Amino acid sequence: MSKNILRRNSYIKYSIIDHFKRYKWVYLFLFVCLILGLILGFVIGFKKADNFSLADLPDSVLVDFINKKISAASLFFSRICSFLGLIFLFWCINCKKFLSFITFIIIFYKAFLIGINCAILMSIYKFGGAINVFFVILPTHLISLFCLLAWGAVCIYFAFKEKTIGYSTFSGCFFREAKGVLFVVILGAILCCLLECLILPHISTAIFIGIN
């Protein structure tokens, strides 16, 4: 029994190491896009803070939730649908390597929106907004974005290695190779969205709605 557990743990450890070794350069460039987008979002958000109101928040779903127009369940399903849509989009655009640059733009733009969302919330709600940002919104959104980044890295890799590997992202072989990553990515996104929707209502009731 213990040998099986050790063997399974070794296999998982090897798979993770092998995954990051294979896609390390794609991860690096995507991560740079993420960091640059996040920083730029924070900078612009704080720089233009006096000109922004809650209605200017790019995340309209979060605005509706703060204003109690939608429930936590609606917030959850909106997040999941958006995430699954981007997974499908990444798969489609990386069928041709000349379209792969769009993946980098999307990661940059998503990170930029996270940064500007957080900056606006912190500017409007001050200490209360900072609590929401650093304990709920930023961690869950960043982890979701990292999951999306991982899927993007796999799709880009296969797009550029199509001739070497012998099949594209539209082949069944691709999904046999990438099914483990896809499962972890979707599971991670679901857990992040669920965590956001379970925790945010309790904190925001006291902070967002209470201070507003």
pLDDT attached to residue 106 = 95
Beta strands in 125-193 (DSSP E): none
pLDDT digits (tens, 9 = 90+) for 145-167: 999 999 998 888 888 776 555 55
pTM assigned to the model = 0.82
For the chain, the distance separating the N- and C-terminal CA atoms, rounded to the nearest angstrom, is: 57
Tokens of 139: 């961690």
d(CA 80, CA 186): 9
Tokens of 78: 């909106």
Residue type at 20? F
Q: Could you tell me which residue, 102 or 70, shows the higher pLDDT?
A: 102
d(CA 51, CA 68): 24
Q: Is 152 exposed, middle or buried (0-12, 13-18, 19+ CB in 10 A)?
A: buried
How much of the chain exceeds pLDDT 90, in percent? Answer: 22
Average model confidence (pLDDT) across the chain: 79
User: In which band, very low, low, confident or very high, does the pLDDT at 92 lie, cut at 50, 70 and 90?
Assistant: confident
pLDDT attached to residue 210 = 42
Does residue 48 contact residue 119 with C-beta atoms inside 8 Å? no
Lowest mean pLDDT segment, chosen from 19-28, 102-111, 148-157: 19-28
d(CA 57, CA 118): 9
d(CA 136, CA 75): 14
Q: Domain span at residue 100?
A: 2-211
Integer Rg of the chain from CA? 19
* Contacts of 70 by beta carbon, 8 Å cutoff, 6+ apart: 61, 64, 78
What is the Cα 191 distance to its own chain's centre? 12
Tokens of 9: 């743990």
Number of structural domains found in the chain? 1
50: phi then psi, degrees, rounded to nearest 5: -70, -20
